[in-house]
Amino acid sequence: MALKGIAPSILAADFARLGEEVGTVLAAGARVIHVDVMDGHFVPPITMGDLVVKAIADQVHEANAKIDVHLMIERPEEQIRAFAKAGADSITVHAEATPHLHYALQAIKEAGCLSGVAINPGTPAEAISAVQADMVLCMTVNPGWGGQAFLDSSIAKLQRIRELIGDTPAVQVDGGIGKETAARCAAAGATVFVAGTAVFGTQNPAAAVKAISTATNG
Ligand code: DX5
Ligand code: ZN
């Protein structure tokens, strides 16, 4: 089933208390947990790998929620099996990260996961039209870091993505998403809202989850 609603990004969580942080957002109603994987090549930072997915998989699945893996890595097709095995429910790869995008998306489906294709702010919406994916991730900041400001040009791009793919597939937004930007993205066709800083960077992550859900009619 398609992903929907708020997807807290654990990139902004306190890693010393990861299970507790995930528990808080699940209890607040989040049904998607977003995991940002960075390799130090496609984007400069190195973050986490399949071990972290494995560590939270049981907790997330027991809450009837999904683990959404965002691969910001070169040649993502080589890592798909490991993330699927660790417990990923959906895996998104960047159109810019591999010459084998179609193959990578096929491999994700064959591994039993929902497939996503991500595009950077500098990549035109048309880059997704040649491939079949369950979800399109429209980056609303340049990938690599949390806490950046939402790019306003994303709104027109979301509308273009909807023109290209129709009403059905999930469209995810990621970067600078809070109550206000999430509502604007929802109006432009987004259905999945990744939020890191606006959730885990606040005093009350549970309240933030509820506020973003309400702002997007979730
Ligand atoms: C950025 C990551 C995002 C990040 C968003 O490259 O893909 O998922 O966690 O962080 P915020 O919500 O702080 O912009
Ligand atoms: Zn992400």
pLDDT digits (tens, 9 = 90+) for 117-141: 999 999 999 999 878 899 999 999 9
Under CATH, what is the fold of the domain 5-216?
TIM Barrel (3.20.20)
Cα–Cα distance measured from residue 72 to residue 41, given in angstroms and rounded to the nearest whole number: 9
- What would you measure as the largest C-alpha separation in the chain, in angstroms? 43
Q: Which residue shows structure tokens 């708020």?
A: 6
Cα–Cα distance list, 6 to 3, 68, 99, 156 (Å): 9, 11, 31, 21
On average, the pLDDT of the chain sits at 97
Q: Where are the beta strands (DSSP E) in the chain?
A: 5-8, 32-38, 66-72, 90-94, 114-119, 135-139, 170-174, 192-195
Give the model's pLDDT for residue 218: 65
Ligand 1 centroid distance, CA of 34 (Å): 9
Q: What is the pLDDT of residues 183-209, one digit of tens each?
A: 999 999 999 999 999 999 999 999 999
Average pLDDT over residues 144-168: 96
Banded pLDDT at 1 (limits 50, 70, 90):
confident
pLDDT > 70: what percent of the chain?
100
Stated pTM of the model: 0.98
Domain boundaries, the chain: 5-216
The residues annotated with a catalytic role in the active site are 36, 174
Q: What is the pLDDT of residues 26-64, one digit of tens each?
A: 999 999 999 999 999 999 999 999 999 999 999 999 999
Ligand 1 centroid distance, CA of 214 (Å): 20
Contacts of 168 (CB under 8 A, 6+ apart): none
Give the model's pLDDT for residue 97: 97
Average pLDDT over residues 10-34: 98
The residues that bridge with 48 in the sheet, in sequence order, are none
Which ligand is located closest to the Cα atom of residue 148?
1
* Residues found in the chain: 218
User: By CB neighbour count within 10 A (0-12 exposed, 13-18 middle, 19+ buried), where does 166 fall?
Assistant: exposed
Residues with CB under 6 A from ligand 1: 9, 11-12, 34, 36, 70, 141, 143-144, 146-148, 174-177, 194-198
Pocket of ligand 1, candidates 6, 11, 47: which has the most ligand atoms within 8 Å of its Cβ, to mutate?
11
pLDDT of 144 over the 70 cut: yes
Give the model's pLDDT for residue 142: 98
Give the model's pLDDT for residue 217: 83
